[in-house]
Structure 1
Amino acid sequence: MAKTAPTPGKTPPAADFEHSLDELEQLVAKMESGEMSLDESLASFERGIGLFRHCQQSLEQAELRVRLLLDPEAPDSAEPFEPEL
Structure 2
Amino acid sequence: MTSAPTQPDVSALSFEEALKQLETIVRELEQGNVPLERSIEMYERGAVLRSHCDSLLKAAEAKVEKIQLGQDGKPAGATDLDQEA
Normalised to the residue count of structure 2, the TM-score between the two structures is 0.68
Moved over 4 A (4+): none
Give unpaired runs (5+ residues) of structure 1. 1-12, 80-85
1:1-85 map, 5 Å = 16-72=14-70, 73-74=72-73, 78=75
For 1:78 and 1:52, the matched residues in 2 are separated by 31
Number of paired residues? 66
- RMSD, matched Cα: 2.5
- Report the residue type matching 2:53 in the other structure: C
Match of 2:3 in 1: none
Cα drift, residue 78 of structure 1: 4.7
Letter matched to residue 25 of structure 2: L
Q: CA deviation at 1:59?
A: 0.3
User: In the aligned structure 2, how far is the partner of 1:53 from the partner of 1:24?
Assistant: 11
One-letter code aligned to 1:23: Q
- Identify the structure with bigger relative contact order (alpha carbons < 8 Å, sequence gap 6+): 2
User: Aligned partners of 1:20, 1:55: CA distance in 2, in Å?
Assistant: 7
Do the aligned partners of residues 43 and 78 (structure 1) sit closer, same or farther apart at CA in structure 2, a change above 3 Å counting? farther
Structure 2 gaps, min length 5: 1-11, 77-85
Bigger Cα Rg? 2
Percent sequence identity is 31
